[in-house]
């Protein structure tokens, strides 16, 4: 071990004496890192600033946001930072999924260098998960990685995307293809920001909570089931509980395998179908949470068709998704096109689908032998269920069975 001694001028002297290896020995390189970070949930700006400061100290903040969030909440955030004496600058991307791109990332790196952002400064991702994914990835590469914190402003980001350290931008070949694992230095979720979010995004965000409930927490399922209407009505007490509980569940699940060495993660529930659906419907036409809701329905139906379900998970999922307005898809789905778009998912997941299928609340089984015909059958059944229960679903049904279905 090196020894360090302070010299009279306040500098440090480091003494070391590393032994040389004997001949032919294999040198083992080690680079261990333990990342821990706090996740705060609040509903006021003064508290948000206190939490931010507790993480960033007196560092300068480079706020990355989108134009919508900037217009709605940018000035207020800037004012509280000014009042607290926190130095900051900001850059707003166009809102929406297309901003999760290499081109926008490059604009951000240019802006960071033009603004003189240094290694000890901190990027602040202020927006939905498009912003935390993009800003986090930009942070992971800038100067070989600088700190960033997430101030999520959508429900989806607060219950899921802002935690876990998976950051990425999209590539035409696949969603999230260019990315990294780069953990935030902290997360501060202000549920009051959700008051300006449109209803469709609130519903879509809830899908990621429902996913966690199915795979990991019967108690969270009961909470959502009991409070679904209050969540949609944006009751702040209920939202705080919803977001804090999601953080507790996600961090526990991620902690077991933070860098996804084992690809068989229950957290992927719903996503084997959701990602290809987003690809074929054009990013942004169907919201990520809506695609996850549909994916959960299809994958639970695959479980039901296989006789895996030990509890009426499918019936209860259908009922809950109907109550929160997530049962019917807003886009037409060509089943064959969707199945064809699954090949990048297979490729990224090492050649197979590794589909987490639910057995009962809190219990999943990871299978890797789901084939195209099972997906086709379950997708058509899911679309038919949406048609049966909803209005105007005929178009979906027609699209589902053509061509070649």
Ligand X SMILES: NC(=O)c1ccc[n+]([C@@H]2O[C@H](COP(=O)([O-])OP(=O)(O)OC[C@H]3O[C@@H](n4cnc5c(N)ncnc54)[C@H](O)[C@@H]3O)[C@@H](O)[C@H]2O)c1
Q: Which residues are catalytic?
A: 144, 166, 208, 250, 260, 264, 268, 271, 275, 288
> Which residue in 56, 117, 146, 164 binds ligand X (CB under 6 A)?
164
Examine residue 166 and tell whether it contacts ligand X (CB under 6 A): yes
CA 392 to CA 298: how far, in whole Å?
20
Residue 369, Ramachandran bin (φ over 0: left; ψ between -120 and 50: alpha; else beta) = alpha
Binding mask 67-96 for ligand X (x = CB under 6 A): -xx--x----------------------xx
Q: Where are the alpha helices (DSSP H) in 29-170?
A: 45-56, 67-69, 75-83, 102-114, 129-141, 155-156
Name the minimum Å distance from CB 402 to ligand X.
29
User: Which residues are registered as beta bridge partners of 360?
Assistant: 363
User: Which residues lie across from 4 on neighbouring strands?
Assistant: 14
Q: How far is the CB of 130 from ligand X (least distance, A)?
A: 3
Instruction: Please list every residue from 95 through 134 that binds ligand X, using CB under 6 A.
Output: 95-97, 100, 127-131, 133
Smallest gap, in angstroms, from Cβ of residue 215 to ligand X?
Answer: 14
Query: In the range 182-201, which residues lie near ligand X by CB under 6 A?
Result: 193, 196-197, 201
Q: Smallest distance, Å, CB 166 to ligand X?
A: 4
Nearer to ligand X, 284 or 312 (CB): 284
**320, 224 Cβ separation under 8 angstroms:** yes
Min CB(69)–ligand X separation in Å: 5
- The closest residue (CB) to ligand X is 128
Using the minimum distance from each CB to ligand X, give the nearer residue, 250 or 301: 250
Does position 39 interact with ligand X (CB under 6 A)? The reply is no
Binding span for ligand X by CB under 6 A among 9-17, 140-148, 154-162, 323-331: 154-162
Toward ligand X, which CB reaches closer, 267 or 355?
Answer: 267
Contact present, 171 and 178 (Cβ < 8 Å) = yes
CB distance 48 to 151 below 8 Å: yes
Output the CA–CA distances (angstroms, integers) from residue 274 to 11, 41, 146, 268, 291, in the order listed. Answer: 55, 28, 31, 10, 5
Q: Please list the alpha-helical segments (H only) found in 310-401.
A: 313-323, 335-340, 343-348, 372-389, 394-400
Edge-to-edge order in the sheet of strand 39-42 = 39-42, 186-190, 147-152, 122-127, 61-66, 88-93
Question: Measuring CA to CA, how many Å separate 166 from each of 29, 189, 241, 263, 398?
Answer: 25, 17, 24, 14, 37
CB of 187 to ligand X, least distance (A): 12
CB atoms within 10 A of CB 249: 23
**Binds ligand X by CB under 6 A, chosen from 40, 203, 265, 288:** 288
Measured from the CB atom, is 153 or 387 closer to ligand X?
153
Closest listed residue to residue 149, CA positions, set 125, 117, 118, 131: 125
Enumerate residues 133-152 that contact ligand X by CB under 6 A.
133
Binding to ligand X (CB under 6 A) within 216-255 occurs at none
Q: Which is nearer to ligand X, 154 or 379 (CB)?
A: 154
Interacting residue ranges for ligand X, rule: CB under 6 A: 66, 68-69, 72, 95-97, 100, 127-131, 133, 153-154, 156-157, 160-161, 164, 166, 193, 196-197, 201, 288
């Amino acid at each position: 071990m090196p020894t360090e001694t302070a010299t009279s001028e306040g500098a440090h002297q480091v003494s070391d004496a590393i032994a040389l290896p004997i001949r032919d020995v294999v040198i083992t390189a080690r680079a261990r890192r333990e990342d821990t970070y706090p996740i705060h949930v609040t509903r006021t700006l003064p508290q948000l600033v206190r939490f931010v400061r507790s993480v960033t100290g007196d560092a300068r903040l480079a706020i990355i946001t989108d134009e919508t969030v900037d217009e709605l909440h940018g000035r207020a955030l800037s004012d509280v930072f000014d009042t607290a004496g926190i130095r900051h600058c900001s850059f707003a991307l166009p809102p929406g999924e297309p901003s999760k791109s290499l081109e926008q990332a490059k604009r951000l790196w240019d802006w960071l260098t033009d603004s003189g952002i240094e290694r000890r400064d901190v990027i602040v991702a202020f927006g939905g998960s498009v912003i935390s994914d993009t800003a986090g990835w930009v942070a992971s590469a800038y100067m070989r990685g600088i700190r960033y914190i997430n101030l999520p402003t959508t429900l989806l980001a607060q219950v899921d995307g802002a935690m876990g350290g998976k950051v990425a931008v999209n590539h035409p070949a696949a969603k999230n293809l260019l990315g990294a694992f780069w953990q935030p230095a902290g997360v501060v979720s202000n549920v009051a920001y959700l008051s300006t979010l449109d209803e469709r995004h609130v519903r879509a965000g809830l899908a990621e909570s429902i996913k966690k409930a199915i795979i990991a927490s019967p108690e969270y399922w009961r909470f959502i089931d009991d409070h679904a209407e209050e969540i949609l009505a944006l009751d702040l007490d209920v939202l705080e509980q919803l977001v804090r509980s999601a953080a507790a569940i996600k961090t526990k699940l991620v902690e077991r395998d933070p860098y996804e060495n084992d690809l068989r993660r229950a957290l992927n529930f719903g996503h084997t179908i959701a990602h290809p659906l987003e690809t074929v419907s054009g990013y942004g036409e169907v919201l990520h949470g809506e695609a996850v809701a549909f994916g959960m329905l299809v994958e639970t139906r695959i479980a039901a068709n296989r006789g895996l379900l030990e509890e009426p998970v499918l019936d209860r999922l259908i009922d809950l998704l109907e109550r929160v307005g997530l049962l019917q898809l807003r886009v037409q789905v060509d089943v064959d096109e969707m199945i064809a778009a699954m090949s990048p998912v297979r490729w990224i997941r090492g050649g197979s689908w590794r589909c987490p299928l639910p057995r009962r609340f809190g219990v999943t089984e990871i299978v890797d032998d789901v084939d195209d015909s099972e997906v086709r059958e379950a997708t058509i059944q899911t679309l038919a269920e949406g048609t049966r229960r909803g209005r105007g679903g005929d178009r979906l049904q027609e699209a589902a069975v053509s061509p070649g279905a």
